[in-house]
């Protein structure tokens, strides 16, 4: 038996299958290619700095982030939704979908989020636009049509791998948009050191490590300095 016969290539093996089975294999391949994990990996290869992680956050990290959110009357804005691990945890925490807005820069990931969470306000755009979107009334309003305050910003942005000028725009927009009483949550893989949000003027109120994530992460809870 030659080596080709002993270890037939997967392609040759699928050609040897009956037609119905070949169609099944093709469907599985397409489903895998469209799965959240493969989309995340493809975006990582295309935009390593913007994605900034080797895989999506663990459900444990997402739940711990969501645990710091108090579902209230205002908006919760998630920056960098990715495949929706944290979005899902925020909904499980009790955040009303119509009060939740997710801003995601990747078109493919924004499309995935919009399909996964049809009631959530998914915006394909840049987190640096947050203050402008809010000021121009382009975020979901309250029942009376009036703009809602942004009570909480939940950031999964890889701030440390975003180039400094773009990072500054994001930080400025976040600080400007956050309500005076609001909270901003950021996770980072840097287990020590100040948060870039502190450099931008917010005060760190709480910090904790989550080891059950790849890699281990730190969650910072921040707010406007005057409200400490």
Ligand X SMILES: C[S@@+](CC[C@H](N)C(=O)[O-])C[C@H]1O[C@@H](n2cnc3c(N)ncnc32)[C@H](O)[C@@H]1O
Query: Which of the ranges 7-15, 103-111, 190-198, 201-209 carries the binding residues for ligand X, by CB under 6 A?
Result: 103-111
Q: Which residues pair with 121 in a beta bridge?
A: 101
Residues from 126 through 155 that contact ligand X (CB under 6 A): 126-128
β-pairing, 121-124 with 202-210?
Answer: unpaired
Query: Which of the ranges 31-39, 76-84, 92-100, 172-180 carries the binding residues for ligand X, by CB under 6 A?
Result: 76-84
C-beta neighbour count of 172 within 10 angstroms: 15
For ligand X, the closer of residues 99 and 105 by Cβ is 105
Residues from 163 through 222 that contact ligand X (CB under 6 A): 170
Among 81, 121, 182, 223, binds ligand X (CB under 6 A): 81
Question: Does 103 sit near ligand X (CB under 6 A)?
Answer: yes
- Expressed in angstroms, the distance from the first to the final Cα of the chain is 75
For ligand X, the closer of residues 16 and 33 by Cβ is 33
Question: Does 56 sit near ligand X (CB under 6 A)?
Answer: yes
Comparing CA positions, the residue from 47, 56, 78 lying closest to residue 162 is 47
Q: Which residues pair with 223 in a beta bridge?
A: 203
Please, what is the minimum distance in Å from the beta carbon of residue 167 to ligand X?
9
- One character per residue 12-51, x = contact with ligand X (rule: CB under 6 A): -------------------------------x------xx
For ligand X, the closer of residues 129 and 151 by Cβ is 129
For ligand X, the closer of residues 21 and 136 by Cβ is 136
For ligand X, the closer of residues 150 and 162 by Cβ is 162
Please, what is the minimum distance in Å from the beta carbon of residue 144 to ligand X?
29
What is the binding site for ligand X (CB under 6 A)? 43, 50-53, 56-57, 79-82, 85-86, 103-106, 109, 126-128, 156-158, 162, 170
């Amino acid at each position: 038996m030659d080596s080709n016969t002993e270890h037939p290539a997967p392609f040759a093996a699928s050609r040897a299958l009956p037609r119905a089975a070949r169609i099944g294999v093709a469907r599985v391949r397409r489903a895998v290619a469209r799965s959240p994990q493969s989309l995340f990996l493809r975006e990582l290869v295309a935009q390593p700095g913007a994605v900034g992680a080797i895989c999506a956050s663990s459900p444990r990290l997402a739940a711990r982030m969501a645990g710091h959110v108090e579902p209230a009357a205002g908006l919760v804005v998630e920056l960098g939704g990715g495949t929706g691990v944290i979005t899902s945890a925020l909904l499980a925490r009790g955040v009303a979908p119509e009060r939740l807005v997710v801003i995601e820069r990747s078109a493919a990931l924004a499309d995935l989020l919009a399909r996964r969470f049809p009631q959530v306000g998914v915006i394909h755009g840049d987190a640096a636009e947050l203050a402008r979107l809010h000021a121009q009334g382009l975020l979901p309003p309250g029942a009376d049509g009036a703009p809602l305050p942004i009570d909480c910003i939940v950031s999964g942005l890889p701030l440390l791998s975003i180039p400094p000028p773009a990072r500054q725009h994001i930080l400025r927009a976040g600080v400007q948009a956050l309500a005076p009483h609001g909270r901003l949550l950021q996770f980072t893989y840097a287990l020590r050191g100040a948060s870039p949000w502190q450099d931008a003027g917010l005060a760190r109120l709480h910090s904790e490590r989550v080891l059950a994530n790849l890699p281990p992460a730190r969650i910072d809870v921040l707010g406007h300095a005057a409200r400490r």
